[in-house]
Structure 1
Amino acid sequence: MRASSSSSPVLTLALAAGLVLAPPLAGATEPAPVPVPPTDPATQVAGSVEGMTRGTGIVPGVGGGDGPAVYGTPDAPAGAPSRYVALGDSFASVGRIVPAAWLDGPSSCVRTADAYPPLVARGLGAATFVNATCGGAITDDLLGPNEDGVPPQLDALDAGTDLVTLTIGGNDVGFGAVIDACAIRPNAERAGVLPLVEPMADELAEKFDTRAGCPDVVERQAPAALAALDSRLDEVYAEIHRRSPDARVVAVGYLTAVPDDATLFAEPDCAPLTVVSAEERDGVRRFQEDINRVVAAAAERNGATAVIPDEPGHSMCAPVAERWVDLTGMQTGAAPIHPTSAGHAHVAQRVLGALGG
């Protein structure tokens, strides 16, 4: 989700989903509460990566909001990356959103210890790990400061960086707008609570017109944004290569969220997705496939390694223990429509495998 100056977009989505999408959780155990961050999104939260020591943050950004957090591995093994920089949006920054899981950085970025970049850093024994990921990021936030004053993520790069992971593009092409138009708004209207939810829905929609309805968003607005994403990704890659010419770059795509209808209708937790038509659900599935197609093609054009973790059977309609993405997060502690801890662990293994680790 896109970062806004008023609150964490990840937590805005959590609140909206909790109000509208959460079904009765008969038999559910230990629903995970959503933490409330400090009022000032630039406020720092602190937490360390297991097995790594906390280092010194990068230059403070506009408005006082520090950006990347730096960690080190004492006695890093031979062959480990000397400097690993993680870039990206909430699919790279956010796992479980219980307070104890949060790492160093602006609270609005919602970086957690179980997200795939810290797992990759630990798996490789990286001498230095720089976590610049931030929930809500778009490509503009890699190249310039975001609305909260978090500095450009690419400022974390230098000539000594030898590994970069990158997960970006979902917010550029309307991930939040699709969720808003195809799940939150239809269910809110059906429940008679749309006026209550609308301010949050509008925040999630950003530049997209979700009041035009799900078909318009997935068939017209999102494809137009996808067409513009190619050149933005090329610009990002060019800047990565300029700043870190010796770095290996791994582009990480997005986990599958919405499965086929047979799987969807078999899972009561996914009932909120049944209020739109079969054609609209097909449009959402095409949308998630198209994002990964663009991510993979841009990686290939720019000499990066693409990891697309879209294996079936682990969508937000899978059994709870097998979910890599969750709809509401109430049973897994994940942010709504975001990776679970298990999902991040899978992505980390895919990245490590691509690196030969």
Structure 2
Amino acid sequence: MPGDRRNVTYLALGDSFSSGEGDTDKNPVTGRKYYRQWTDVNEDKAKGAPKEKCHVSTRSYPYKLANWMGLGSGPSAAWASVACSGATVYDMNWDNSGGYEGQDSPLGRLHGYDNKGTLQKMALNEMIPGRVKQIEFVKKYQPKVITLTAGGNDVGFGKKIKDCVHYIKSIGTCDWAKDEMNTLGSQIKGQFDRLVGLYKELKAASPKSKIYAIGYPQFITDTEPAACGLNAGAIDLDERRMIVRATQYMNKVIEAAARKAGVKYVDISQALNGGKMCEKHQIYMTGIVGLGEQESYHPNKLGHVKIFTEIAKQLDHEDLSTYSKYPTAGDESVNAPSSIYFDKGAPSSVNTTMLANSKPSKGSKQRVALAKSSLQPGSSARVEIRSKPVDLGSYTVSSDGSMRETITIPDNIPAGYHTLFVYGKSVSGEDIKITQTLLVTGKDKEDLDDDGVKDANQPCGAFLKASGKDEDLDGIDDACDPEVTDPILYTARNGKSEFNEDEGKIYVFRNTRAAKLTGVNNDYIDKSSNKDNTEALIASSLTEDTKNLSFSKLVIAKEDDKDNNISKGMPIVLAKDINEKCYALGPEDYLSPALRPGSNGYKPRGLIKLNRLPKGVSCEE
């Protein structure tokens, strides 16, 4: 865990595209995702522990940048990432800093905690994101380098995408790609002034910092023919075009704001080419994890490698702290750019949080709350919810321009994503739309998608329709599998004490779902340590030279190597000793069926240390 540091060269700020929450793999050593401590924690209010879901992956691009700059790791590292999934410009700037109660608007994750001050002080000292404004870290540590992504959550882009891919609406194109494209464009254009303000505030907080405004990568293709996997959701060509064009426009706004503020814009729009959603090989993106989950539609670990590579390329492979082409000043003549796809003279539009509960149930009463100066005082504002428009009434705006009214979520709208609209007049008297995308649930907490089947009994849970396919044989239906890979034939890990295994040994298992591919269909399964009954133990560390090694990864041999006792298709374990030296191990008789201990013919099969590492492999990622 990061410790209290006084010498910070690099700080990574931003949202989920900087935190790395699309890295959904589990570390085979720990059995947990690669998210850093304090960034994937459920709330336990009785213990004074808030919900912490910033999802900072230790394999995200800031970690790779820091390694490239030689800034170290662990408590002595001269850098930190305080990026946080869901962060908006408000979570990064000085606005209401003294009253800030953490991310997760409108109340904040620390709201109601008596130990809020202690939690925030701890966050600043130990680099825990999501509890204090990100600019607070900048002010305290005065880093030489800052990177950040910002603006996407202010537009509500992630929820708009989920609205479009929701399978209930697969019969037609979503509004954001049709009637409300101009609304989306207005919201994107509206980020210009906010981003300029953020960049200038960061410069003022740490005048000597070099600030790099990272754009967003194009993560889905809008070309035909497309190869959208089942985990891309129900998304059509018009919706894909909207996503591509909106990302392009968002990047134009970020670039213009950076020029005006005098910080460096870094274009990574093409970083994921060749592995985007709906391309033939979707190897750089995580698909749908669950329709209400944060991690869907984000770059995975390979995607972050590509983003890091593109950043280095765009900066001529120079060190970010000494980059020779960093702008010397801003250009105040720069204005918000227009878009031929979105800028159609649409009314001003703002995406904001109006309902504290973003997942209201059908028939529930909800409080619509808009801050002061949101609307023209004394004017009339109409509230509507759609997919299919349902009028929820007209209300008079308060004398201070705020609005606080109670609405009822209609009983007769389908469970799924919908958008709440408030139509009114701005303070200056112009027409304005204010929006918030909501996930409306059924009344039964065990059947949130209201389809008559308990969510626990659906392969993909609520809202996602299972496909009945499992191409990679990992036990996850492809419609909700974050990454559909080549079939998984073998897995390996260090022993787990909860299974009465030796933690100093490495164990290799065969995936019994893959019997048709391995040719072995009579494996013995130890049901006491395999809840899903699909892992057959085929080898473990038996000899002294294969014990007390730390499992790194498993690869499958692509060709025979007689000199190294390797045959094609053989699982090869890569492991490190205490000195970080890498070794290759192979199982004895890996094609023989796993036998039950004590049965006739049973003998423990071990791992054999190979003569050398196979060509082209190492213990590194």
TM-score (norm 1): 0.64
Match of 1:160 in 2: 142
- Given candidates 305, 314, 322, the residue that maps to 2:275 is 314
Q: Confirm or deny that 1:140 pairs with 2:90.
A: yes
Q: Which residues of structure 2 form unaligned runs of 5+?
A: 27-31, 41-52, 72-76, 111-130, 320-621
Query: 1:212: Cα distance to partner?
Result: 5.5
Query: 1:182: Cα distance to partner?
Result: 1.4
Query: 1:297: Cα distance to partner?
Result: 1.6
Match of 2:307 in 1: 347
Q: What CA distance in whole angstroms lies between the structure 2 residues aligned with 1:133 and 1:115?
A: 11
Give the 3-state SS of the residue equivalent to 2:13 in structure 1.
Answer: strand
Query: 1:153: Cα distance to partner?
Result: 0.7
- Matched-pair identity in %: 25
Match of 2:36 in 1: 103
Q: What CA distance in whole angstroms lies between the structure 2 residues aligned with 1:190 and 1:212?
A: 12
Indicate how the Cα distance of structure 1 residues 227 and 71 shifts in structure 2: closer, same or farther if over 3 A, else same.
Answer: same
- Given candidates 233, 237, 241, the residue that maps to 2:199 is 237
Residue 188 of structure 1 aligns with an amino acid whose one-letter code is I
Q: What CA distance in whole angstroms lies between the structure 2 residues aligned with 1:85 and 1:170?
A: 20
Q: Confirm or deny that 1:90 pairs with 2:16.
A: yes
The answer to whether the Cα contact below 8 Å between 2:268 and 2:311 also exists between their aligned partners in 1 is: no
The answer to whether the Cα contact below 8 Å between 1:172 and 1:229 also exists between their aligned partners in 2 is: yes
Q: What CA distance in whole angstroms lies between the structure 1 residues aligned with 2:177 and 2:163?
A: 5
If you compute each CA radius of gyration, which structure gives the higher value, 1 or 2? 2
Query: 1:190: Cα distance to partner?
Result: 4.8
Indicate how the Cα distance of structure 1 residues 250 and 268 shifts in structure 2: closer, same or farther if over 3 A, else same.
Answer: same
The answer to whether the Cα contact below 8 Å between 1:89 and 1:133 also exists between their aligned partners in 2 is: yes
Q: What CA distance in whole angstroms lies between the structure 2 residues aligned with 1:102 and 1:270?
A: 22
Q: What CA distance in whole angstroms lies between the structure 1 residues aligned with 2:212 and 2:307?
A: 12
Q: What CA distance in whole angstroms lies between the structure 2 residues aligned with 1:269 and 1:309?
A: 26
Residue 59 of structure 2 aligns with an amino acid whose one-letter code is D
Q: What CA distance in whole angstroms lies between the structure 2 residues aligned with 1:105 and 1:256?
A: 30
Q: 1:274-313 counterparts in 2 under 5 A? A: 274=235, 276=236, 278-311=237-270, 312-313=273-274
Match of 1:338 in 2: 298
Query: 1:349: Cα distance to partner?
Result: 2.2
Query: 1:213: Cα distance to partner?
Result: 5.8
Q: What CA distance in whole angstroms lies between the structure 1 residues aligned with 2:289 and 2:135?
A: 30
Match of 1:173 in 2: 155
Indicate how the Cα distance of structure 1 residues 137 and 160 shifts in structure 2: closer, same or farther if over 3 A, else same.
Answer: closer
Query: 1:255: Cα distance to partner?
Result: 1.4
- Given candidates 49, 60, 65, the residue that maps to 1:115 is 60
Q: What CA distance in whole angstroms lies between the structure 2 residues aligned with 1:181 and 1:135?
A: 19
Give the 3-state SS of the residue equivalent to 2:11 in structure 1.
Answer: strand
Q: What CA distance in whole angstroms lies between the structure 2 residues aligned with 1:351 and 1:309?
A: 7
Indicate how the Cα distance of structure 1 residues 177 and 124 shifts in structure 2: closer, same or farther if over 3 A, else same.
Answer: same
Higher relative contact order, chain-length normalized (CA < 8 Å, sep 6+):
1
The answer to whether the Cα contact below 8 Å between 2:12 and 2:83 also exists between their aligned partners in 1 is: yes
Indicate how the Cα distance of structure 1 residues 155 and 230 shifts in structure 2: closer, same or farther if over 3 A, else same.
Answer: same
Q: What CA distance in whole angstroms lies between the structure 2 residues aligned with 1:176 and 1:298?
A: 22
Give the 3-state SS of the residue equivalent to 1:92 in structure 2.
Answer: helix
Residue 230 of structure 1 aligns with an amino acid whose one-letter code is F
Query: 1:85: Cα distance to partner?
Result: 0.8
Q: What CA distance in whole angstroms lies between the structure 2 residues aligned with 1:89 and 1:252?
A: 11
Residue 218 of structure 2 aligns with an amino acid whose one-letter code is T
Q: What CA distance in whole angstroms lies between the structure 2 residues aligned with 1:71 and 1:90?
A: 26
Query: 1:228: Cα distance to partner?
Result: 1.4
Deviation string for 1:121-167 (max 9, x for gaps)?
Answer: 11112252121100011101112442224210111113631100011
Match of 2:611 in 1: none
Query: 1:242: Cα distance to partner?
Result: 0.6
Residue 160 of structure 1 aligns with an amino acid whose one-letter code is Q
Residue 314 of structure 1 aligns with an amino acid whose one-letter code is G
The answer to whether the Cα contact below 8 Å between 1:269 and 1:317 also exists between their aligned partners in 2 is: no
More moved, 164-173 vs 282-291: 282-291
Q: Which has the higher strand share?
A: 2
Q: Confirm or deny that 1:260 pairs with 2:222.
A: yes
**What is the RMSD computed on CA atoms of the aligned residues?**
2.8
Match of 2:615 in 1: none
Q: What CA distance in whole angstroms lies between the structure 2 residues aligned with 1:177 and 1:222?
A: 12
Q: 1:208-227 counterparts in 2 under 5 A? A: 214-217=177-180, 219-227=181-189
Total equivalences in the alignment:
255
Q: Which residues of structure 1 form unaligned runs of 5+?
A: 1-47, 49-53, 57-69, 73-81, 192-209
